[in-house]
Every structure is written in structure tokens, then in C-alpha cells.
Amino acid sequence: MSTQEISLEELRQRQSRFRGLEAGHRACLGCGQALAARWVLEAAGPDVVVANATGCLEVFTTPWPESAWRVPWLHSLFENTGAVAAGLEAALKVQGKTAKALAFAGDGGTFDIGFQALSGLLEREHDVLYVCYDNEGYMNTGVQRSGSTPHAAATTTSPAGRARLGKRHLKKDILAIIASHHIAYAATASIAYPEDLKRKVRQALLITGPTFLHLHAPCPLGWGHDGSLSVEVARLAVQTGLFPLIEMERGQVIGVMPLRTIRPVADYLKLQGRFGHLFRDDPRAREELEHLQALADHNIEVFNLRADRPDPADSEGADTVRRGRRRF
């Protein structure tokens, strides 16, 4: 293998869309995280340095001696991504470099084991964009529950059985915790709304200081849906109100993506094997369904998600081609 030196400007011209994460990596079919990371880097461009937590994204992109990354990229450990990114940023700053430090981690590396390093990163106001790719569980180790796994979802460590109906606890409200650090910008995004996602990355990168992007990225393997449905499932999470798309400045909500059609949570849940037990003929299952609907309704009220006008960033339907009675 030989490498060739070209300027960043030249690279930008060669690729109308910058591909920081190349094709040919080993992600599963329909991996939400792979799609998300590609779009994040497409929006961020090549002048970045990435610190990546241990997890699927790290494993499927870098089986030695191959790498799918076209940006400088460092994987250290699982729980220290916030701190490694802080070190990158400190070094870039001392050298007077323009490159932006990015931190990539999954929900386990963000909500749970990497939480302390993330909080330190935000508190010390490092100029880092932290992207949490949330697939709601420890998927790399075989689908275990995390602090981000939604209530009632079945995982290998919160299985559904006769006595239990999946995870007993609620999904941690990470954005509220991020908000209480009063950072300049934090947002949620979804792979179902790529233009919105990319706009939020660009918005975050305009800011000097810590910014946070919470990115909902379905995992077909862990969620139990067909790989071709990843975008559909992600879109339903938004449309049901379970994963509202919002933006925050200094901890205050400054924008939400309004929902044109609000869908019942059952539409989202029934596509996924991890919620299959909620559709049994069982009064407790019905109760859990009602509970999840109530959580979605709560989000819709709290964030005022009901649309009275179309949102310019709402690309719903724009990526769907209809031929005959089938959607592509």
C-alpha cells in the first residue's frame, strides 16, 4: 500500500461529499451507526481529529491492517473518550492548529462507563464535539442492556420471560444531564433525518467550546428488525415522540422538529423483536404498552412537538420513492 500526499483543498475538490468513513468496513447490513458516522464526517469535513470509544464503530472500521477512516483517528479505551478528546484538543490548541477534535462513543460509552470523562470534558469547556451514537444497548458484546436501553425492551441481560417484561428501568435522560452542564449547544438527531443531522453537526462545529450530539441509530441485530428497515424504524422513533429532535443552547430548548403526523408507539414497537413480548395477550404487556405511549405523549407535550406548520429541515418522504404500491 502506498500513500499519497494531497492538500485538504484538493481532497475537497475531488470528493464533492467528503467521505471520512469509507465503504468496505465490516458493519452489519443496515447498521445505523455506520450511516450516522459517515454523515457526521461528511458534514464535519477532513480537518478533524477523532477519538473513538471501544465498541462496534471501532471494531468494524479498524480490523488491522485495514482502516475505513480517512481522518486521523485514535481509539484508546471504552470509558475515556471524553478525556482522550480533551487531550487531542489541548494539543491542537497549543500548536495553533485549526483541526477540530471530535469524540465518538456509543450509548454505553456515554451514558454509563464513559459518563465521568464526558462530564469532565463539558465542565472544563474543551472545544470538542462529542457525538453519542445511541443504539440503546451494548451491541458489540452481544446486546446487553445499558442505561440507554428503553423501558420494556428485551436484551440478553434484561430478557423477557414469564416473570419479567424486558428492562425494568427507564432510559436515562442524557440530554437533561448534558443540559445541566450549560454548554453552548446540544442537540438530538436521527439517521432518518440526514439533512437535519448534518445541519446540527455544522452548527455544533461553528461553536468554540464543548457541544454534544445525541444521535439515534438503530441496530438491526440488537433491535430485531430487518436491515432494510433501519431508517424506517429511526423515523418512527421520532414520529411517535419517543425520540424527539430538539436543539438546546446553554441548557434551554431553542428548537424542536415538529411532527406532522404523530404515530402511536405501537407502530414503532411492533417492527422490533426486542418489543415482541409487549404484543402478547397479557394484561401486563398492555400496561407496558400504555406506559410507553404515556412516555411518548409526555415528550410531545413537554417539547411541544405538535406541528402547526411544516419544518424546513423535515425531510420526511424526501428519501422515499414510490413505485406502484411499494416504497423504496
Strand 185-190 versus strand 211-216 pairing type: parallel
Cβ(133)–Cβ(120) under 8 Å?
A: no
47 belongs to the binding site for another protein (CB under 8 A): yes
Element (H, E) at 98: none
Residue 200: how many other CB atoms lie within 10 Å? 27
311 belongs to the binding site for another protein (CB under 8 A): no
294 belongs to the binding site for another protein (CB under 8 A): no
**Does a cis peptide bond (omega within 30 degrees of 0) precede residue 65?**
yes
Query: What residues from 48 to 107 belong to the interface with another protein (CB under 8 A)?
Result: 48-49, 51-52, 58-59, 62-65, 67, 69-77, 79-80, 82-95, 99
Cβ(73)–Cβ(50) under 8 Å?
A: yes
5 belongs to the binding site for another protein (CB under 8 A): yes
Q: Which is nearer to another protein, 80 or 146 (CB)?
A: 80
Residue 78: how many other CB atoms lie within 10 Å? 18
DSSP-derived secondary structure for 243-272 = S--EEEETTEEEEE--BSSPPPHHHHHTT-
28, 119, 144, 264: which one contacts another protein (CB under 8 A)? 119
28 belongs to the binding site for another protein (CB under 8 A): no
Q: Which is nearer to another protein, 120 or 317 (CB)?
A: 120
Q: Which residues is 51 bridged to in the sheet? A: 74, 103
Nearest-approach distance from CB 175 to another protein, in angstroms:
21
316 belongs to the binding site for another protein (CB under 8 A): no
Nearest-approach distance from CB 308 to another protein, in angstroms:
44
Cell (9 digits) for 85: 478528546
Phi (first) and psi of residue 271, to 5 degrees: -75, -10
Cβ(171)–Cβ(151) under 8 Å?
A: yes
8 belongs to the binding site for another protein (CB under 8 A): yes
Nearest-approach distance from CB 50 to another protein, in angstroms:
9
Determine the size of the site formed for another protein (CB under 8 A): 49
Nearest-approach distance from CB 118 to another protein, in angstroms:
10
15 belongs to the binding site for another protein (CB under 8 A): no
Q: Which is nearer to another protein, 65 or 161 (CB)?
A: 65
Nearest-approach distance from CB 200 to another protein, in angstroms:
22
Exposure of 59 in the CB half-sphere (CA atoms within 13 A) = 10
124 belongs to the binding site for another protein (CB under 8 A): yes
Helices (H), 170-282: 174-179, 194-206, 220-223, 230-239, 265-269
Nearest-approach distance from CB 182 to another protein, in angstroms:
17
Query: What residues from 187 to 226 belong to the interface with another protein (CB under 8 A)?
Result: none
Per CB under 8 A, residues contacting another protein are 3, 5, 7-8, 46-49, 51-52, 58-59, 62-65, 67, 69-77, 79-80, 82-95, 99, 116-117, 119-120, 123-124
